[in-house]
Amino acid sequence: MALELVTIRCLKDNYAYLLHGKAGTALIDAPEAMPILTDLEARGWGLDTILLTHHHADHTGAVAEIVAATGAKVIGNAADAARLPRLDQPVRPGDRFDLLGEPVEVINVPGHTIGHVAFYLPRSRYAFTADSLMAIGCGRLFEGDPATMWTSLSRLMKLPPETLICSGHDYCASNGAFALSVDAANVALKERLEGIANADLPCAPAPLEVELATNPFLRAAALRETLGMTGASDAEVFARLRQMKDEF
């Protein structure tokens, strides 16, 4: 059976995630202490481990308070240790480690930040992608370039289509509006946005197959002619889409 997944809204539009199983509980990213600690207390769960995807404060700012309250150990990218809270278990892209009795794969996904990683649990089919692959979007390129981000997204696109993409923010209103502006004929996109607006469907997490069908940043090949970029590479189309979103 898959580990139990709990999505917690933090700050204005962040998502944090709890994973729970017989072996304990883990947290992916720590934007804000109160909603996370409140949820843990309500469920009667302790906290064993915190996994960090990247160094930005809206993903790490509550680590110290949560560690003080729970004694949880912290896992993050060794290459970015200088910008992360103190790591009890540094890991590197390509590593596999055990979490709550399940294997976790560390995937290199730079672009939003150079040290950004994603955590993939192949048994439960969860991928914690934070600000790399996001719901109907992708993160801004604060430290990487379009080619780097396209390579990162291409890695994530190869995961099994049923993988649940657990992204870091609810930017669905702005992401959805941009997606419609470049992919107006996409029926799957329109249905997804209608479901979100009617609260029938969550913004995130969402299966990778849904992102592949509705996320413009994963649809470079499908949007090439629409953007008048016949003959351009997928990476070049992605770069144009990212520029358009930044200016949207």
The verdict on whether residue 29 carries a ligand-binding annotation is no
The verdict on whether residue 88 carries a ligand-binding annotation is no
The verdict on whether residue 20 carries a ligand-binding annotation is no
The verdict on whether residue 112 carries a ligand-binding annotation is yes
Q: Provide the percentage of residues in the chain whose pLDDT is more than 90.
A: 94
Residue 200 has pLDDT above 70, yes or no: no
Q: What is the mean pLDDT of residues 222-238?
A: 96
The verdict on whether residue 56 carries a ligand-binding annotation is yes
Please give the mean pLDDT across all residues of the chain. Answer: 96
Q: Which CATH class is domain 4-247?
A: alpha beta
The verdict on whether residue 131 carries a ligand-binding annotation is yes
The verdict on whether residue 116 carries a ligand-binding annotation is no
Please list, residue by residue across 143-152, b when 16 or more beta carbons sit within 10 angstroms of its beta carbon and e when fewer do. Answer: ebebebbbbb
pLDDT digits (tens, 9 = 90+) for 128-144: 999 999 999 999 999 99
Residue 98 has pLDDT above 70, yes or no: yes
* Whether the Cβ atoms of residue 200 and residue 192 lie closer than 8 Å to each other: no
Q: What is the mean pLDDT of residues 152-177?
A: 96
CA 111 – CA 150 distance, rounded (Å) = 8
pLDDT digits (tens, 9 = 90+) for 106-118: 999 999 999 999 9
CA 40 – CA 35 distance, rounded (Å) = 9
